[in-house]
Amino acid sequence: MRNYIILLALFIYLNPKAQTIQTLDSGTKASIRGLSVVNDSIFWASGSNGKVARSTNGGKTIQWLTVPGYEKRDFRDVEAFDASTAIIMAIAEPAVILKTKDAGKTWKKVFEDSTKGMFLDAMDFGSNGVVGIVVGDPINNKAFIAFTVDRGETWNQDTRAYDTLVAGEAFFASSGTNVEMISGPHQRTIYLQVTGGKQSRFFKNGKVVSSLNLASGKESTGANSFAMYKRKNVVVVGGDFTNDTSAVGNCLLSSDFGKTWKQPTIQPHGYRSCVAFITNKKLITCGTSGVDISEDWGYNWRLISNQSFHVCQKAKWGTAVYLAGANGRIAKLR
Ligand SMILES: *[C@@H]1O[C@H](CO)[C@@H](O)[C@H](O)[C@H]1NC(C)=O
Ligand SMILES: *[C@@H]1O[C@H](CO)[C@@H](O)[C@H](O)[C@H]1NC(C)=O
Ligand SMILES: *[C@@H]1O[C@H](CO)[C@@H](O)[C@H](O)[C@H]1NC(C)=O
């Protein structure tokens, strides 16, 4: 078995299809955690200091803008619909969602909540781009959830009774990928979430499906992100962001839509804040200590870069994969 693993590692190492990360831009004073890739040429990114980045030519040129009146805000997530339409989410005090329809020239406030303790973590839209969800940290052990059914023009808090979270269990606002919405037929939607912190769990429609045996017990530990393929394969990543080279409890895999979980054979090489499917069985994951690729549903991970990134996303309608992180760094997988 051991020899087999060594041979396999050698084969992968010598594989000429080796992938690399090409930096497209860096140096802007912003920590980028929001990234939304529409197709191979159009992507939007968002981050701290009120910054939004946008490209319509696959990153050959990147336009940076600062949202007027929001220069100190941290836009932790973005959802782009096309070259001119996007929604950005500022986390707290007050929590705000803004929408532009003119490529970022003007922004309209579509949601605001000044409740003490309100902290938005992530948004997601179903594949029809009409129905969406925003998730916020628990207040009195109750997660905040609001929905839109009109492409983010209006948002309504969902006040149904969800399973409560335990003390110290919350959502990481590290890459906007701890919630996923699936739109089914007849506008029927399902949403999935992963919690992190003292404890990590997998939720479906606000109800606990399973516990995630990841790094736990601290505010800095647990699940940060998950990716899903065809309501079957689920890959969760996380770890401990204060110990970002440790691979202990940083990844779990499910092949039954989150009911049961197993560990990878070769784990990602450190704490990871984001994971995404590139094809039906190929994945990318990134974090402050590097980027890994798996070609086998997440069982074996290969480090392709030691560079720090917060978020990685594949084009919704395309094959391009982009990454973004601290210091305004935006890159593309080659
Ligand atoms: C991306 O979408 C835009 C707008 O629909 C279109 O003009 C462009 O050709 C698309 N690019 C690619 C590479 O698909
Ligand atoms: C960091 O992780 C390693 C295991 O990879 C562990 O031995 C060490 O105690 C951890 N350090 C802290 C400060 O948690
Ligand atoms: C990452 O860093 C380690 C230690 O410095 C080095 O051995 C390894 O080759 C690097 N990997 C990549 C993909 O750059």
Which residues have CB under 6 Å of ligand 3?
Answer: 303-306
How many other CB atoms are there within 10 angstroms of residue 271's CB atom? Answer: 28
- Closest-CA residue, ligand 1 atom 9, reads 41
Query: For the residues 141-151, what does the mean pLDDT come to?
Result: 95
> Residues 92-132: pLDDT tens digits?
989 999 999 999 999 999 999 999 999 999 999 998 899 99
**Cα distance between residue 166 and residue 185, in whole Å:** 34
- Residues above pLDDT 70, as percent of the chain: 94
> Residues 233-281: pLDDT tens digits?
999 999 999 999 999 999 999 999 999 999 999 999 999 999 999 999 9
Nearest ligand 1 atom, CA 40: 13
At 115 the pLDDT is: 93
Residue-averaged pLDDT of the chain:
94
At 161 the pLDDT is: 79
Name the DSSP letter for residue 129.
S
Nearest ligand 2 atom, CA 248: 5
Query: For the residues 293-310, what does the mean pLDDT come to?
Result: 98
The pLDDT-based confidence of 5 (bands split at 50, 70, 90) is low
At 127 the pLDDT is: 87
**Cα distance between residue 73 and residue 96, in whole Å:** 10
> Residues 160-217: pLDDT tens digits?
878 999 999 999 999 999 999 997 666 678 999 999 999 999 999 999 999 999 999 9
What DSSP assignment string belongs to 272-286?
-SEEEESSSS-EEEE
In this predicted structure, the answer to whether residue 14 has a pLDDT above a threshold of 70 is no
Residue 41: CB within 6 Å of ligand 1? yes
**Cα distance between residue 319 and residue 334, in whole Å:** 11
**Cα distance between residue 244 and residue 152, in whole Å:** 35
- Closest-CA residue, ligand 1 atom 11, reads 41
The pLDDT-based confidence of 327 (bands split at 50, 70, 90) is very high
State the residue for tokens 């051991």.
2
Among 285, 253, 255, residue whose Cα is nearest residue 269: 285
- Closest-CA residue, ligand 1 atom 1, reads 39
Name the DSSP letter for residue 242.
T
Among 237, 233, 296, residue whose Cα is nearest residue 268: 237
Residues 6+ apart with CB under 8 A from 140: none
Residue 74: CB within 6 Å of ligand 1? no
Query: How far away, in angstroms, is 304 Cα from ligand 3 center?
Result: 8
